[in-house]
Amino acid sequence: MTSFKAKSVRTFGPNGNINGYLTELQKDGELTTAYLTVAYPDCFKGYHLHKIRESNYVCIRGQVTVILYTKGRGRREVKLERGDKLNIPINVPTGIHNTTREEAWLVNFPDPPYDPSLNGEQVDFTEEEAEAWMKAK
């Protein structure tokens, strides 16, 4: 049996305010195979994309709107409520918006698992940059 101290980090929105946190749920050595993303009430998290790993969300509490910018499909919004699942492929700028009055909890099973040694694997965007990325050929 292996035990570990779960790492938890606060996350911040574009305005510099705390918008939630991430907590490791499951590890495989140095790799994180599952983590909890918490979005505080009426907060936005994002925009960002992953170059190497997909996100596989399961909403376990609350409700969020996931905003996706995909080449060919444009901007789309997907509402997730408790029990809903969503796969986000690599290279898709993504934002998470909690418009409710309670915390929203998403468990993410990244594929491949999160590797803290991969610098530059996550790219952060403003909304304008995400729209421009989507329109670029």
Domains of the chain: 8-135 (2.60.120.10)
For residue 48, the model assigns a pLDDT of 92
For residue 120, the model assigns a pLDDT of 87
Return the DSSP state at 100: S
- Write phi, then psi, for 92 (nearest 5 degrees): -120, 105
Cα separation, 35 vs 12, in Å, equals 17
What is the DSSP pairing of strand 31-39 with strand 85-88? unpaired
17-39 confidence digits (pLDDT tens): 999 999 999 999 999 999 999 99
- Write phi, then psi, for 23 (nearest 5 degrees): -135, 130
Q: How confident is the model at residue 71 (pLDDT cuts 50, 70, 90)?
A: confident
Closest CA to 94 of 108, 113, 112: 108
Q: How confident is the model at residue 63 (pLDDT cuts 50, 70, 90)?
A: very high
Q: Is 128 helix (H, G, I), strand (E, B) or coil?
A: helix
Cα separation, 78 vs 33, in Å, equals 24
Q: The whole model's pTM is what?
A: 0.90
Looking at this protein, which amino acid is placed at residue 132? A
Mean pLDDT taken over the chain: 92
